[in-house]
Amino acid sequence: MSPLAIGVFVLGLLIGALVLRVRRSRRPAVLVDGSNVMYWRGETPDIRTVRQVIKRLEADGFRPGVMFDANAGYLLFGRYTHDRAFAKHLNLPEKRVMVVPKGTQADGHLLRAAADMNARIVTNDRFRDWADRYPFVTEKGRLIRGGYRGNRLHLKT
């Protein structure tokens, strides 16, 4: 088996594990596009924005999982940051946080996980490039958009 095939296989296992971890609750699962949400407050990425969105989702009765691009740690903290470190920053169990492997973007993995879980996604991305493969992104209510009005978070749940 080639190294690429092994990497794809391992990534599939990781996504499957995240799906199972978030799905086990009676609360509806929702996936947070961490690499998108971290930019919601101003032009600079901020982990506090992701943390606030998670708190709001939990207060609204959701069970959030978060997925980040591999470069998110560099953008936020100036160094690579793995699942465990992000989980600590977000006050979440490690099993509900995933940083995709270097050289890949989270979008495809996020959409695949959401499709497997029938979960909604918190993001302002419209995923137009992915709509043929994941048509649910065009369904009303599947993508939860949000942002800040002044200092107040708003989500269109």
pLDDT tens digits, one per residue of 50-61: 999 999 999 999
The confidence score (pLDDT) of residue 103 equals 87
Asked whether 80 and 103 are in contact (CB, 8 A), the reply is: no
pLDDT tens digits, one per residue of 6-37: 655 656 666 766 655 544 557 899 999 999 99
pTM metric for this prediction:
0.83
* Cα 131 from Cα 136, distance rounded (Å): 7
Task: Count other Cβ atoms within 10 Å, centred on residue 60.
Answer: 13
* Cα 148 from Cα 2, distance rounded (Å): 46
Task: Name all domains of the chain by residue range, CATH numbers in brackets.
Answer: 3-155 (3.40.50.11980)
Asked whether 70 and 38 are in contact (CB, 8 A), the reply is: no
Asked whether 29 and 65 are in contact (CB, 8 A), the reply is: yes
Q: Which residues contact 90 (CB under 8 A, 6 or more apart)?
A: 47, 50, 51, 54, 66, 97
Which pair of tokens denotes residue 6?
A: 């092994």
